[in-house]
Amino acid sequence: MSKSLLEGLRQNGLLEFGSVIDGDLVRKILGLEYPEYGTKKDFDEIALSELKAIDYVRNILLGEGKYIASNNGGYRILLPSENHGQIESYIGQADRKLRRAQKLSRNTPTINKYDKDADRSASIAMKILSVRGVHRNQPASAQPRTQTVNHTEKRQSTKHPQC
């Protein structure tokens, strides 16, 4: 089902940057149709099937440097210039989850004298620092510097006095 959506969108040329994909087309490719009348469960199952297929397509597109976003009942492939906003969103979500993990780990009562959670807390703290340091507010002085070496310079020979 998900693979058929990916193939259908590729065949229609709708996986290029900036492409707008109508939600009805997605549901048609997937063979999904909202009933005129139905229970909330019926509608939720159809929506979940669509989201599952879109998530599969999104995961494949991430490997191509593309992101498929919701857009007024349909979808759109973000432009490369818009990907930065999505990257920041992913980093923010990861940062919030790491802080929540750290809070839970810090406040979980210990059973043994040896605190196995201390290692976990340190690991979480390191992940938070790495997410923040690599992608946000990294000072220019922390950027890796490259040094060019001129290998064409001739070396001066030093003469050692003979004994």
pLDDT tens profile 23-63 = 999 999 999 999 899 999 999 999 999 999 999 999 999 99
157 pLDDT higher than 60: no
How distant, in Å, are the alpha carbons of 3, 7, 75 from that of 29? 10, 9, 14
pLDDT, position 145: 44
pLDDT attached to residue 2: 86
Q: What is the mean pLDDT of the chain?
A: 81
d(CA 67, CA 63): 9
Is the Cβ–Cβ distance between 68 and 77 less than 8 Å?
Answer: yes
